[in-house]
């Protein structure tokens, strides 16, 4: 059965679906012992981590919210011990009642659940300014870049985007969107549509292990910080930027970002936030996207590249989605690119938590990303002295190298080398990563 859930599914996970009879923990298994292209997490716990004591790692889940009452998540939620529920900012951080995290899509009485696509917002915002332009050279130099964005938006409009969008966020949130310093808006409610997505992502990273319920997350010593920035539609750059900053300022060491869009009108806000996370030693794990395209030439935002030049952020890993077997190793929906995408990770039929104590397998780079975030948290918890840059190095250098041709997404069966689809040419391997972390830790 294929299921699509609103604009969020189209924007983030167009091939999200329920699989038939999945192996519920296949992404935790090993190529050598199980003949499955999993991550080796089960083997790592059995052979490498037994008898060792981890240190708790905080992972921020920038997403559509989390079911904070879920039986498999509530024990592993981050808690702001200096705050209490209610309309008072006890700890003085500017966010009232942020006990479990923050909702940047909240208003005084509710929250934004649905939004337009970014191309729709840009097209109609600047239509009157640019629709009669015949020659770009007639525009002032400062307007030409904006005009190019408008043309891109116009080209990518769909039929359902052909009417002016309702400004749901503006009606509800009521901040000054153009001012990044206007940051104390929103509310503390992490639950409500479309929190199914963030609940699933959170479970992959850190659902309680060994409790006999549902499934096991990857990291056993983790606290999940919920930060709501993604509505059922395209996220706003300002919310993403402030979400990253909130995560960093409140102690997150790893940030999971299972979202993205085709255009980023306020990209500098996000880049400045990524730079801030880099300065503070925080690792960001980012989804490559689900359009089956080469994101070296058709960017997916947030991008791992600086706005100027071809340099990449040293604290960011971009993730494509893979499957269980050699025959179906590359998910047909996954974006790819040997410059932009760093690694692939299991992202097909990943069984994890959904709201109201439910569980289902879902597919997408949205699922592959928390697999990598979970591995990063697992490494960090047992080797806390390792930096964000070292975690990135370890994860990338220990992939299971794929030495056979794989099927390129949306290519009608064309076979290519794995190194044409991602920088490392491989699938993440938690077992090998922990072995390298042990060696690196001893060398420090």
Contacts of 92 (CB under 8 A, 6+ apart): none
Residues carrying an active site annotation: 63, 197, 366
Closest alpha carbon to 201 in 342, 377, 29, 329? 377
Measured at the CA of 145, the angle between CA 143 and CA 148, to 5 degrees, comes to 110
Angle of helix 365-382 versus helix 430-443 axis, rounded to 10: 30
- Closest by CA to 112, choosing from 177, 15, 180, is 177
Q: Do residues 383 and 437 make contact, with C-beta atoms less than 8 angstroms apart?
A: yes
Compute CA 111 distance to the chain's CA centroid, rounded to the nearest angstrom. Answer: 21
3-state per-residue secondary structure call for 91-140: CCCCCCCCCCEEECCECCCCECCECCCHHHHHHHHHHHHHCCCCCHHHCC
| Two structure tokens written together for 241 | 């930027």
| Pick from 10, 11, 5, 13: nearest CA to 365 | 13
Q: What distance in Å separates the CA atoms of residue 151 and residue 232, rounded to the nearest whole number?
A: 24
* Separation of CA 59 from chain center: 12
- H/E run at residue 368: helix 365-382
Q: How far apart (Å, rounded) are the C-alpha atoms in residues 440 and 288?
A: 28
Distances (CA, A) of 26 to 30, 34, 55, 343: 8, 9, 26, 18
CA 194 from centroid of its chain's CA atoms: 15
CA angle 12, 128, 148 (to 5 degrees): 55
- Is there a cis peptide before residue 194, judged by omega within 30 degrees of 0? yes
DSSP H stretches of helix in 131-229:
141-156, 168-172, 195-206
- ω into 203 cis (within 30 of 0): no
Dist CA 283 CA 85 (whole Å)? 29
Q: How many CB atoms lie within 10 A of CB 167?
A: 14
């Amino acid at each position: 059965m294929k299921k699509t859930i609103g604009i969020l599914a189209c924007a983030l996970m167009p091939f999200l679906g329920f699989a038939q009879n999945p192996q519920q923990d296949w992404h935790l298994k090993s190529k050598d012992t199980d003949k499955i292209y999993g991550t080796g997490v089960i083997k790592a716990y059995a052979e490498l981590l037994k008898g060792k004591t981890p240190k708790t790692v905080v992972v921020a889940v920038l997403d559509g919210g989390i079911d904070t009452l879920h039986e498999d998540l509530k024990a592993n939620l981050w808690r702001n011990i200096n705050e209490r529920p209610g309309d008072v900012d006890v700890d003085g951080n500017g966010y009232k009642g942020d006990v479990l995290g923050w909702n940047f899509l909240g208003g005084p009485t509710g929250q934004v659940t649905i939004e337009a696509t970014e191309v729709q917002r840009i097209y109609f915002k600047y239509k009157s300014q640019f629709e009669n332009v015949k020659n770009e050279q007639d525009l002032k130099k400062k307007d030409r870049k904006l005009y190019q964005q408008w043309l891109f938006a116009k080209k990518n409009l769909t039929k359902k985007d052909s009417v002016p969008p309702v400004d749901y966020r503006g009606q509800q949130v009521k901040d000054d969107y153009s001012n990044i310093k206007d940051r104390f808006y929103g509310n503390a409610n992490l639950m409500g549509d479309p929190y199914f997505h963030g609940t699933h992502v959170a479970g992959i990273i850190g659902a309680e292990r060994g409790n006999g319920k549902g499934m096991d997350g990857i990291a056993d010593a983790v606290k999940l910080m919920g930060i709501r920035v993604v509505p059922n539609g395209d996220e706003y750059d300002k919310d993403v930027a402030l979400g990253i900053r909130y995560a960093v300022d409140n102690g997150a060491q790893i940030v999971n970002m299972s979202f993205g869009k085709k255009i980023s009108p306020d990209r500098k806000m996000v880049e400045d936030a990524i730079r801030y996370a880099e300065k503070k030693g925080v690792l960001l794990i980012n989804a490559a996207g689900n359009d089956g395209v080469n994101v070296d030439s058709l960017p997916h935002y947030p991008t791992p590249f600086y706005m100027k030049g071809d340099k990449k952020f040293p604290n960011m890993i971009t993730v494509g989605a893979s499957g269980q077997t050699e025959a179906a190793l590359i998910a047909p929906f996954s974006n790819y690119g040997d410059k932009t995408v760093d690694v692939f990770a299991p992202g097909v039929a990943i069984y994890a938590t959904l709201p109201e104590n439910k569980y289902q397998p879902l597919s997408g780079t949205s699922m592959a990303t928390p697999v990598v975030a979970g591995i990063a948290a697992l490494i960090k918890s047992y080797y806390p002295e390792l930096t964000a840059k070292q975690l990135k190095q370890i994860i990338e250098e220990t992939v299971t190298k794929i030495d056979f041709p794989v099927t390129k997404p949306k290519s009608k069966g064309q076979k290519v080398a794995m190194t044409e689809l991602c920088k490392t040419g491989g699938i993440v391997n938690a077992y090998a990563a922990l072995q390298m972390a042990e060696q690196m830790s001893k060398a420090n």
